[in-house]
Structure formats: C-alpha cells, structure tokens
Amino acid sequence: MTELEQQLLAALEQMQTEQKAQQDALRQMFESTKQDNQALRESLKTFVEQRNTAEQQRNERLQALIQHVNNLTEQVQSLEQQVKRLKK
C-alpha cells in the first residue's frame, strides 16, 4: 500500500468516525426531543382536562345562579301581587 493510499484510508476512517459521532449525537438529540415532546403532550392533556373541568364547574354554578335568580324573580312578582291585593 502506497503512502497516498494509507493517507486516504486514514482520512476515510477519520471521516467514518466523525460521521458515526454525528449520527450518535443526532440520535441522542432525537430521543431527547421525543421525550420532551411526550412530556409536553402530557402537560397539555392535563391542562386541557383541568380547563374543561373548571369550565364545566363554572357552567354548573352559572346555571345554579340563573335558577336562583329566576326563583327570586318569581318571589318578587308574587310579593308584588300580594301588595297590590292588600292595597285594594
């Protein structure tokens, strides 16, 4: 093997080593990103579930408040009618 062939072989081996290191680094970055994405998905799922629960509770309280206001309105109307009758 000539000196040039040895140098070319060494350069090729060096490039292969560097390429493998780059591939390993990329693979590690991919796995890390994959884990981060999974954690983000789980956090988003939890957030959406909590928001939905809070919205449902708010709607239930709002419906209860509406019912209470309606009941009070009926009571006021009833009292107004009683006052009218008493004034006659």
Token code pair at residue 6: 């040895």
Q: Give the three-class secondary structure for 1.
A: coil
Low-confidence ranges of the chain (pLDDT < 50): none
pLDDT of amino acid 88: 77
Confidence (pLDDT) at 5? 93
CA atoms within 13 A on the CB side of 32: 6
CA distance 26 to 22: 6
DSSP 2: -
Predicted pLDDT of residue 1: 82
Contacts of 9 (CB under 8 A, 6+ apart): 1
Q: Which secondary structure element, helix H or strand E, spans residue 45, and what is its range?
A: helix 3-87
Which pTM does this prediction carry? 0.65
